[in-house]
Amino acid sequence: MTATGVRAPLSATGRPAGRPAWRTILPTVILVIGAIYCLIPVIWVFIASTKSRGELFTTFSFAPGTGLFGNLADLFAYGGGQFGLWAANSVLYAGVGGVLSTLVSAGAGYALAKFDFRGRDLIFYSILAGVLIPGITLAVPQYLLLSQLGLAGGPLSVLLPSIISPFGIYLSRVFAASAIPQEILEAGRIDGASEWRIFRLVVLPIMLPGMVTVFLLQFVGIWNNFLLPFVMLSNQGDYPLTVGLYTLLAKGSGAPALYSLAIIGAAVSIIPLICLVLFLQRFWRLDLISGGLKG
Amino acid sequence: MTTSDLAPIEASVARAPRRGGRPPSGRRPRVRLAPYLFAGPAVVLYVVFMLIPVLYAIYLSLRAYRLQAGGTFGRRVEVFVGLENYVGVLSDPELLASFGRLAVYGFIAVPLTLGLALLFALLLDVPAVRAKRFSRTAIFIPYAVPGVVAALMWGFMYLPSTSPFSYLTEQAGWGPIPFLTGPGLFGSLANIAIWGGVGFNMIIIYTSLRGIPDELFEAARLDGANELQIALRIKVPLVGPAILLTTVFALIGTLQLYGEPMTLKPMTNDISQTWAPLMTIYRDAFLTDNLPAAAASSTILALGTVVLSLIILGIVNRKRFGARS
């Protein structure tokens, strides 16, 4: 932001004098271009969401319009408040699914990392194989299975499959193996604490940073998922935002009026998640992922 | 966490997951039930929502519906047909064409996503670079945007009537840019994937870079190496495992391409109902009611993903072990 086009005095760059300035400027410029590339669609969607229906197709893309409040009112009035329902569903699926998934992963990761038991390797390698199986190719067989059980169609059919996360278990195992000292567990056992008590009072607090990471990955993953809810759900009122916005757009080809709804819907729907990710960025332990493979 | 105990992912991949339970080593004879209770929920969910669906899909893929003659009305019965569905699916020109399109798309999207992620991560790690916080945050933002919403936003930026890019070229008298027709479509779809994937991969590689001890670079700098040499000769080889991991994830992501072409579909005539393999599977399963074919294609797609990932992990393992010996 600061040093781009400006030929900053060398001293101001905080580097030993005598080095050419382009060594600072060129990499900075490339990086800032990348940043702009990533921001353009976001900026565009916010600007486009201020345009009234007529302005959308007639004025220059990056010129703000006058229809923001009209669009917002239309969006929340659409289909008797369906947009709000979709948003609430997304929060429910991603929030509840993320929390349950994190707890399940933490328990499994702890067991796999800190106990020797019959079948441990089998479980671990099965779960590793699960990391490689694309979750999405499972959606169709999962649907068939859940419809046999009579669960397909309802919210549970989206929530339940979202709880199992092989990658989350794998990360939890990495974290538990490196963060929990064996002595602390032994000490707890000698003091006569039950395994459950040790898990709740000793293990979970230590694993918290790892669990935040797993939670965020799962939350964003479920929030962004499209095919699973698209396949599973039969009732518009159960849709999450991704499927809801998709149906808006798909209908929009016949009725361009829905285009402005899809645009304002997209703009409104990305605000909370961008805020969440930016806010929680500092709590991420992504070194878990990258460090996990250091051989 | 730079635990080196994570070599298991490689080990597991190199050796098939065939080792069964081994006898408890007896270090902690007191504890018996606890680990099973802790791992229990995950195991149950894994079996119900991953293992059984996979087995069920394989079972379904070996069966077919047949009209049984006899009586006044033919009866629809399910029979075992062996690999017939696989033969049918693999000789289905539409599915093969969709795999071809996926390959073209993947060859654009995967290298560019990873190349840009690596480039940005390396630039972030150069001490003299300015505006790091801003750039890192901005490049990471698309991670928070669902693929469907990304496709929606880019779709409007591609659509001639709303595109800011086509607006400019039209003002210049060149006409709109064909983002959504012909070969341009591949680039446009790949661009959505690149936009959505660069940030996350950049952060993974960058975190991995931050884990390298500074002394390594100091020594190189004292020896007169410049930042470019340090990046290429020291940093890139050291973040190899992170690049490998991101490659595997990018590949898995590519094979799952579905929501983006589905979202762009209403905007163009060039995306058919069978444009991507998963779209064909969805059509077979839900629109034409040919579940066995859908199951066979799903199995092939899943198998293809696993095999591709194993090949990549295997190649890298062999290279590394070769270098060590």
**Closest Cβ opposite residue A145 in set B52, B137, B281:** B52
Supply A189's token pair.
């056992």
Within 8 A of B160 by CB-CB distance, chain A residues are none
Residue of B nearest to A190 (CA): B30
Q: How many CB pairs under 8 A join A and B?
A: 390
What residues of chain A lie within 8 A of the CB of B309, using their CB?
Answer: 132
For residues A275-283, give the mean pLDDT: 79
**pLDDT at residue A20, as a whole number:** 62
pLDDT confidence tier of residue A289, bands split at 50, 70 and 90: low
- Looking at residue B83, what is its pLDDT? 83
Across-strand partners of B140? none
- The answer for B 51-110 residues in CB contact with A (under 8 A) is 51-54, 56-57, 60
Residue A255 in tokens: 């009725």
CB–CB of A140 and B298 under 8 A?
A: yes
Contact B252 A132 (CB under 8 A): yes
Spell B201-236 as b/e; 16+ CB within 10 A means b.
bbbbbbbbbebeeeeebeebeeeebebeebbeebbe
**Could you give the ipTM of this predicted complex?**
0.83
Q: How far apart are CA A288 and CA A168, in angstroms?
A: 11
Note whether A141 contacts B255, CB cutoff 8 Å.
Answer: no
Distances (CA, A) of B44 to A67, A107, A118, B31, B51: 51, 13, 16, 21, 10
Which chain B residues in 36-55 lie under 8 Å from chain A, judged by CB atoms? Answer: 36-43, 45-46, 49-54
Rounded distance between C-alpha atoms, residue A283 and residue A288, angstroms: 12
- The identity of residue B131, as a single letter, is A
Out of A58-67, A199-208, B216-225, least confident range: A58-67
The whole-angstrom distance between A80's CA and the closest CA on chain B is: 22
Report chain A residues whose CB lies below 8 A from the CB of B50: 130, 133, 138, 164, 166
Contacts 24+ apart (CB under 8 A), A14-23: A14/B128, A15/B127, A15/B128, A19/B128, A23/B128, A23/B227
What DSSP state is assigned to residue A153?
Answer: B
Q: State how far the Cα of B227 lies from the Cα of B224, in Å rounded to an integer.
A: 10
Put simply, the answer to whether B134 touches A108 (Cβ < 8 Å) is: no
Rounded to an integer, what distance in angstroms lies between the CA atom of residue A155 and that of residue A151? Answer: 9
Verify whether the Cβ–Cβ distance B239 to A226 is below 8 Å.
no
**Torsion sign across C-alpha atoms B40, B45, B46, B52:** positive
pLDDT average, residue stretch A55-68 = 71
Give the range among B29-38, B46-55, B222-231 with minimum mean pLDDT. B29-38
Give 3-state DSSP helix, strand, coil % of chain A, rounded to 5.
Answer: 75, 0, 25
Give B189's pLDDT tier (boundaries 50, 70, 90): very high
A249-287: buried (b, 16+ CB within 10 Å) or exposed (e) per residue? beebeeeeebbbbbbbbbbbbbeebbebbeeeeeebbbb
Reduce the DSSP state of residue B204 to 3 states and report it. Answer: helix
| Range with the poorest average pLDDT among A29-43, A280-294, B130-144 | A280-294
- In this structure, what are the phi and psi dihedrals at residue B136, rounded to the nearest 5 degrees? -60, -45
Beta strands B63-68 and B75-80 are antiparallel
**Distance (Å) from the C-alpha of residue A96 to the closest C-alpha of chain B?**
16
Least confident of A49-53, B96-100, B242-246, B296-300: A49-53
The three-state secondary structure class of A41 is helix
Predicted confidence (pLDDT) at residue A273 exceeds the cutoff of 80 = yes
For the segment A231-254, the average pLDDT, to the nearest whole number, is 83
Q: pTM here?
A: 0.82
* Alpha carbon of A250: minimum distance to chain B alpha carbons (Å): 6
List pLDDT tens digits, range B96-106: 898 899 999 99
Strands in chain A per DSSP E: none
Q: How far is residue B49's CA from residue A138's CA, in Å, rounded to a whole number? A: 8
pLDDT tens digits for B254-275?
Answer: 888 888 888 888 888 888 888 8
Within 8 A of B245 by CB-CB distance, chain A residues are: 289-290, 292-293
> Closest residue of A to B238, CA-based?
A294
Q: How far apart are CA B74 and CA A193, in angstroms?
A: 68
How many angstroms separate the CA atoms of A259 and B263, rounded?
A: 12
The amino acid that residue A196 corresponds to is: W
